[in-house]
Structure 1
Amino acid sequence: MLRLRDRPRTPRTPWWRLPAPVRTLLLSQFAFNVGFYLVVPFLAVHLADDLAMAGWLVGVVLGVRTFSQQGLFFVGGALTDRFGVRPVLLTGCAVRVAGFCVLGVAGSLPWVLVGTVLTGFAAALFSPAVETGLAHEGRRLEDAGTTTRAELFALDAVVEKVGSSVGPVLGALLLAVSFTTTCLVAAGVFVVVLVANARWGPRAQPGGPAPAGVLHGWGAVLRNRRFLVFTALCSTSLLAYNQMYLALPVELERATGSTAALGAMFVVAAAVTVTAQVPLARWARRRGPATALPLGFSVTAVAFALVAAATALPAGALPALAPAVAFVVVLHLGSAVAGPLVRDLVPPLARERHVGAHYGVLASAGGLAVLLGSTAVGALLEPGAALPWLLLAVLPLLSAAGLAVLTRRPAAPAHPGRAGGRRARGPAPTR
């Protein structure tokens, strides 16, 4: 069975008492999301209204942005393994600054695409580097009896969610001035992140000596069949979360005739994450992945099933926003249970080697699932249609079943002499 290492005796150290590199990584995630959500939610409006682009061109730009970010995470992960967390993280910040500056002054499609690719690729560098840094710092904190790696990832999810709530509010205020001003402010946020990490960020090369090249990391991932199965099963998680942007507006249109309540739904999501994420992550860590992972994905399935059931009820049988609110709450509860465990299991599945490449491939697989799944579901989505919601419920249920089997299968023993000369701590039979 997949097994996490024993809990430390003192797992509830406040974040402000964590080591400076860890605090810097957490605050960087907050600032990264603030800067990102300052600009990206308003990009489509800027392209259509200010630059008078046709709808299909706006779609092309947004698609390029998603691919250059999510689709290239595996590149950022492999580069992190090769050069270390700090250089890749700082490079990602610098590229994001350049990207936002270009977007702020771009007046034609070619320059818009240049700025879009830069901003997307910056995240493909930054995010795997931060995840890898948190994974290695989390292991050291577990060894010191300070906190668990799963709880550290839970804190990371909280700061990300707070940042994604603050960013759009500030962006809406700045957009009243100009889109250029918004982009320059966002660029300034990333300058602060760059300087902070240059001063206090992780400095050590994680995971022992650097491999000879980035291809080594990708080769290790492709040979790790257990991890590839795990990745495929967990990719439905990002697809499910992406329905906050695709399916939820359709449900709001059905229930209220408009999408005006969408902003309030993101406030509900932030409230659930901030209040429930850390306690549920601790509970899931105690229960172990064999119990908590299937449960978390099953709860996610319930979120979609609730809306599917609501569409079959007569009009007025429920308060208009009740299905949408229930969907948001239950979806984020499922994510709070499973999300930190998924990220916590990557290093042991990788046997603490080429961790960045494994995180990058996990993220890119999620992006591919979003591309394929949302394309298929989007063709079926319309107000009042239950079928797409039922399909979206089936996918995480299948993942839950697969993870129930995977987490109970014995893992191959770890080999000595890896992870910097220490015995690798791969998945082992559970207690």
Structure 2
Amino acid sequence: MPFRHYRPETRTLLGAQLVFNLGFYAVVPFLAGAMGTDYGMDAAAIGLVLGARTFSQQGMFLAGGLLADRWGSRRAILTGCLVRILGYATLAAASDFTLFLLGAVLTGAGGALFSPALESQLSQADRPVDDGEPACGKKGKRSVFVWLAITGEIGAVLGPVLGSALLGWGFDAALAAGIAVFTAVTILLWYRLPAAAARGKAPQAEAENPGRTGARPALACLGDRRFVMFCVLAGVNMLAYNQLYFAVPVELGRRGLDGAWLGALFLLASALTLLLQLPAAAVAQRLGPGRTLSAGFVLLAAAFAVAATTSVHAGSSGTSLVPLAVTVAVLILGRMLLTPTILSLIPAFVPTEGPAPGRGAYFGLAATCGGIAVLVGNALLGWLLDLTDRHHWWPGTPWVPLVLLAVLAAAALPAVLRSHRTSRPTDTSATPSLSGRTPGRANG
């Protein structure tokens, strides 16, 4: 669906995602440098602070989703903005490790409250509006999560530019700009989001059927084995994307290439996302979600296969950046197919009783599984990298598990969707179709 055709509330949320990313990327990429250069902290302290920030966000996504279900999306989104403001203010006041750690945790917790609630609320735009057909299922209409990827990427591109421009005045200037950005977002959302945006008829539903409220329905996502399997397999997408931050820089170092080339690879990733996300969405619409997921993960496997077959031993000279550029390009193409499709499929697993029961928890669980995949996967990959260098194994060895995981996800996820579809034959009229198209035209 063209951006201008969405409801004002949906456009406001997409704009909030852009500005939220702008404020985040104007500060966090420069946090490690500020801690080391300005405050003289060692690598262990910096690593612990950055790890705590990531864990407090990824590890708390499920909790953030549960709170969004309990409070309503509007309240959770606004609270997430306020908590991130508090986190940035704590970082601005920090002069020792303890306050930096607290500020980083608060920054992550703000994201954990904001993102599941925003995704849950945005998913309403993919639900039936006038004619009973999901917006993402109508011919020529794209899922709202395609626009979420684009607006988020714009913020991710502009944020470091803003942060770099402000660093001339010191890290505190970047933090002040971040606080100003999040304050503006909070004020905008306070006035633009309807007070009952997420709750709807929930109180009435709870009064009529109190046995379905409380912790058990809120955590119903954990009891849905098919959805848990969907989240575990889909988490490979986040693990793959995280290699831009972990394995790709390691590979640059192995090739003896300057670390500045990493910025060029990130610029390539952002440019491809901004230029090709809409065409990729059109391809995904023609394929249907089952085939889109398979194609996306096959592309991830191909990207890692390129990295494996062109990898070199540490200290090699005369190597080229081209194989890594190809790896990044193919990985981003796969991600462009996968991320909007995965997000648009999550509501189809949510039970149809009530207005939107447990929807925030479902989005939160999916994000948490991705965070766990990154934590476990990177630990194993780091171990393999060390073993490969120590024992002089084939240099592509660390990439092989990533290839296998992507192939596994490509084969298994369509089967999970088919299994879920056949187990809930009466749900297609109330939730977005697992085909991403009109019910009855499934394309596994």
**TM-score normalised to structure 1 length:** 0.89
| Equivalent residue number for residue 361 of structure 1 | 365
Between the aligned partners of 2:150 and 2:216, the Cα distance in structure 1 is 33
| Equivalent residue number for residue 297 of structure 1 | 297
Amino acid at match of 1:413: R
299 and 207 in structure 1: CA distance in 2 versus 1, 3 angstrom threshold: farther
Amino acid at match of 1:223: G
Matches for 1:12-23 after TM superposition, within 5 Å: 12-13=1-2, 15-23=3-11
Structure 2: runs of 5 or more not aligned? none
| Equivalent residue number for residue 255 of structure 2 | 255
1:390 aligns with 2:361: no
192 and 388 in structure 1: CA distance in 2 versus 1, 3 angstrom threshold: same
Which of 105, 117, 135 aligns to 2:123? It is: 135
1:413 aligns with 2:419: no
Between the aligned partners of 1:170 and 1:378, the Cα distance in structure 2 is 32
1:148 match: secondary structure? helix
Between the aligned partners of 1:424 and 1:311, the Cα distance in structure 2 is 45
1:205 aligns with 2:216: no
17 and 401 in structure 1: CA distance in 2 versus 1, 3 angstrom threshold: closer
| C-alpha displacement of 1:263 | 0.9
| Equivalent residue number for residue 376 of structure 1 | 380
| C-alpha displacement of 1:335 | 0.8
Amino acid at match of 1:139: R
Of 281-290 and 19-28, more deviation after overlay is shown by: 281-290
How many residue pairs are counted as aligned between the two chains? Answer: 414
317 and 173 in structure 1: CA distance in 2 versus 1, 3 angstrom threshold: closer
1:159 match: secondary structure? helix
| Equivalent residue number for residue 185 of structure 1 | 177
Between the aligned partners of 2:134 and 2:366, the Cα distance in structure 1 is 27
| C-alpha displacement of 1:103 | 0.4
| C-alpha displacement of 1:317 | 12
Between the aligned partners of 1:341 and 1:206, the Cα distance in structure 2 is 25
Between the aligned partners of 2:130 and 2:248, the Cα distance in structure 1 is 38
Matches for 1:148-297 after TM superposition, within 5 Å: 148=136, 151-203=143-195, 204-206=197-199, 208-209=201-202, 215-297=215-297
Amino acid at match of 2:330: V
Of 279-288 and 226-235, more deviation after overlay is shown by: 279-288
Asked if 1 retains the 8 angstrom alpha-carbon contact of 2:256 and 2:316, the reply is no
Asked if 1 retains the 8 angstrom alpha-carbon contact of 2:346 and 2:363, the reply is yes
- Note the alpha carbon deviations across 1:323-363, whole angstroms, 9 max, x for none: 11111110111011111111111001113531110000010
Asked if 2 retains the 8 angstrom alpha-carbon contact of 1:81 and 1:214, the reply is no
| Equivalent residue number for residue 3 of structure 1 | none
Amino acid at match of 2:175: C
| C-alpha displacement of 1:54 | 1.5
Between the aligned partners of 1:358 and 1:16, the Cα distance in structure 2 is 28
1:257 match: secondary structure? coil
Between the aligned partners of 2:282 and 2:194, the Cα distance in structure 1 is 25
Between the aligned partners of 2:264 and 2:402, the Cα distance in structure 1 is 23
Amino acid at match of 1:189: V
| Equivalent residue number for residue 327 of structure 2 | 327
Asked if 2 retains the 8 angstrom alpha-carbon contact of 1:37 and 1:168, the reply is yes
Runs (4+) of structure 1 moved beyond 6 Å? 315-319
251 and 208 in structure 1: CA distance in 2 versus 1, 3 angstrom threshold: farther
Amino acid at match of 2:287: R
CA RMSD of aligned residues (A): 2.6
| C-alpha displacement of 1:140 | 4.7
Asked if 2 retains the 8 angstrom alpha-carbon contact of 1:238 and 1:367, the reply is yes
**TM-score normalised to structure 2 length:** 0.87
Which of 67, 79, 103 aligns to 1:91? It is: 79
Between the aligned partners of 1:207 and 1:394, the Cα distance in structure 2 is 44
Asked if 2 retains the 8 angstrom alpha-carbon contact of 1:133 and 1:202, the reply is no
Between the aligned partners of 2:288 and 2:52, the Cα distance in structure 1 is 38
Asked if 2 retains the 8 angstrom alpha-carbon contact of 1:25 and 1:134, the reply is yes
- Note the alpha carbon deviations across 1:348-400, whole angstroms, 9 max, x for none: 11135311100000100110110010011022237882111122111111111
| C-alpha displacement of 1:144 | 7.9
1:381 match: secondary structure? helix
1:408 match: secondary structure? helix
| Equivalent residue number for residue 72 of structure 1 | 60
Amino acid at match of 1:243: Q
Asked if 1 retains the 8 angstrom alpha-carbon contact of 2:69 and 2:218, the reply is no
1:380 match: secondary structure? helix
Asked if 1 retains the 8 angstrom alpha-carbon contact of 2:167 and 2:174, the reply is yes
Between the aligned partners of 2:120 and 2:246, the Cα distance in structure 1 is 30
1:411 match: secondary structure? helix
1:402 aligns with 2:412: yes
Which of 98, 106, 116 aligns to 2:94? It is: 106
Structure 1: runs of 5 or more not aligned? 1-11
